[in-house]
Amino acid sequence: MARMMVRVLSTALAGAALTAAAVPAANAAGPGSRGGRLDAKVQERADKLVADGAPGVIVMTRRGGRVSHVTSGVSDKATGAPMDARLLVRVASVTKTFTSTVVLQLAAEHRLSLDDTVDEWLPGLVEANGNDGSKITIRQLLAQTSGLNDYTPDPRVMTDPSRTWTPAELIAIATEKPPLYKPGTSWNYSNTNYILAGMIIEKATGHEVGEEFQRRIFTPLGLRHTYYPTTDPAFPGPYVHGYYADYGDVSTLISPSSARTSGGIVSTVDDVARFHRALFTGRLLPAKQMREMRTVRPVNDDGVVEDYGLGAARIRFSCGHAWGHDGGFPGYRTWTYTSRDGNRQAIITYNESRYEHDETFRADLAKAADTAFCA
């Protein structure tokens, strides 16, 4: 689910990005311990990804109460600052799990129903060129079965990367094309669905989405390094610099307004892991809504084979299944995996977008993920 606009960028991306102070490298467990042996295996996989071309890699692992961080390469090619697990990254479409969680919480509070149509909340917004919001349910938005086109491939979105986009403008781009299929009859990954879900959250609560994220998730879970920017491309603290092929450092050149509730969150590997562990072990949603989230269908999304539910996916590994979501934003790529009982976790992030379809890199990434989650 590379998802967020990892496509052709215009030459408007040329220029210098803002810089942040480097943070000292985090320590890992010593090699003599059982955990240290796991770290050594993960380190080997992370180093291979850097050898393949990624500037830097972070891998967070959990085994029960033991959490470890392995890093390789650099967070900033200009300064040579080492990668550090405490730095901020754009987690991109991992945001979708946050958005889905808030929608499901609202359903549990009877403030909306998953069977409500888009038109009931956003009348007339989805109606052009055969698109019909009266036929699309909130459940279908979260499950990616609405049939709506994705707005992100449209060249207008990326030829002016610093432009501030409104949600309605992004929906208008998506509905310039007819739907891909009748709602509920097939599946396609579309960021449009989660922009609409965010707009519905605001209608149902009367608050901005960022307020709901903060009140319902960030604050209760103590996610002190997780932010939801909507228009400002700057980072609120030290960050990993993200690179996109010949465009170089694109860290602060793209407005998050083109991502929003489909992919706008900035966080750290530890905060993402804390959120996923709380979610998938039942701390954020009642049992009924967890069953809704875990109702999946098999999908192949651009080579990623998984079972997709409502803003979360089930992924098969050599040792069993993991739950999570991945995300890509120009310069950033994050993969998240959490066991159902929360005892195993792996978060992998790196800071280069050019390798989305590189067969060697993707094969080594798959080995790294299985090692980090299963070894």
Would you please indicate which residues are annotated as catalytic (active-site) residues?
93
Beta bridge partners of 267: 89
DSSP 147-208: -PPPSTTSHHHHHSTTPPPPHHHHHHHHTTS--SSSTTSS----HHHHHHHHHHHHHHHSS-
Q: d(Cα 96, Cα 309) in Å, to the nearest integer?
A: 11
C-alpha dihedral, 275 to 346 to 328 to 47, nearest 10° = 150
Cβ neighbors of 165 (< 8 A, separation 6 or more) are 157, 255, 257, 258
Which two tokens mark 50?
A: 């850097």
DSSP letter for 227, please. Answer: B
CA distances from 112 to 192, 290, 341 (A): 20, 16, 29
What three-state secondary structure class fits 309?
coil
Cα dist from 325 to 36, 45, 264, whole Å: 27, 21, 14
Which of 74, 49, 46, 48 shows the shortest CA–CA distance to 59?
46
The distance of Cα 310 from the centroid of its chain, to the nearest Å, equals 14
Give the Cα-Cα-Cα angle 36, 37, 38 (nearest 5 degrees): 90
Helix or strand (DSSP H, E) at 346: strand 344-350
β-pair partners for 332 = 329
Give, to the nearest 10 degrees, the angle between helix 359-374 and helix 34-52. 170
Separation between Cα atoms, residue 274 and residue 94, nearest integer Å: 13
Cβ contact 188:150 at 8 Å: yes
| Number of C-beta neighbours around residue 41 at 10 A | 16
